[in-house]
């Protein structure tokens, strides 16, 4: 616990709440901008030779919005844990932040400059972002799977009694 009474867990929860809400605002704004371009029939976005751009930017908006919500869920998950979890704080948290930048960023950059029907080089950020997301989610799931194993001694005793074969 720090001098002002804020624990590492609370700091991480606040970071993910801020990241989640601000990125949700950004990606919802991107969605509104895309709808506006669609509504005004802007050729830069709607022309048939710009189909790759439209797809990539829609994917950037969708993935960004979804990952923003994942940050809010991650913050709630951390908040509900009975104790600090260093693995989630040091490993899953930065992986989730990296994925939330690389995946939508890769889609957006892939649509910014494209070659024929192929996305631009920005799309190369996607596999790294996807791997970071997979690592963050798997570490979170594994940590929650271990949650029942670290319960109170009374609950552990009851579990051992239920599992003993001599009954």
Spans of all domains in the chain: 8-144
Dihedral of CA 74/133/99/34: which sign?
Answer: negative
Residue 166's pLDDT is 57
> Residue 63: CB partners within 8 Å, gap ≥ 6?
103, 104, 107
**Number of neighbouring beta carbons within 10 Å of residue 8:** 14
Residue 84's pLDDT is 86
10-residue averages of pLDDT along the chain (167 residues): 69 97 99 98 94 98 99 96 87 98 99 95 98 98 79 52 55
The residues with which 115 forms a beta bridge, in sequence order, are 118
Residue 158's pLDDT is 53
């Amino acid at each position: 616990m720090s001098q002002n009474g804020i624990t590492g867990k609370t700091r991480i929860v606040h970071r993910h709440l801020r990241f989640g809400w601000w990125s949700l605002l950004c990606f919802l704004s991107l969605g509104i901008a895309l709808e506006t371009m669609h509504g005004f029939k802007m050729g830069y976005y709607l022309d048939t030779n710009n189909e790759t751009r439209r797809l990539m930017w829609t994917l950037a908006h969708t993935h960004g919005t979804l990952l923003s919500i994942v940050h809010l869920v991650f913050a709630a998950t951390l908040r509900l844990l009975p104790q600090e979890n260093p693995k989630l704080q040091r490993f899953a948290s930065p992986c989730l932040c990296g994925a939330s930048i690389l995946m939508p960023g890769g889609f957006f950059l892939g649509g910014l400059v494209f070659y024929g029907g192929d996305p631009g080089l920005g799309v190369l950020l996607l596999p790294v972002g996807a791997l970071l997301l997979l690592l963050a989610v798997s570490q979170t799931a594994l940590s929650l799977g271990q949650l029942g194993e670290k319960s109170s001694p009374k609950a552990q005793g009851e579990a051992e009694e239920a599992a003993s074969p001599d009954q």
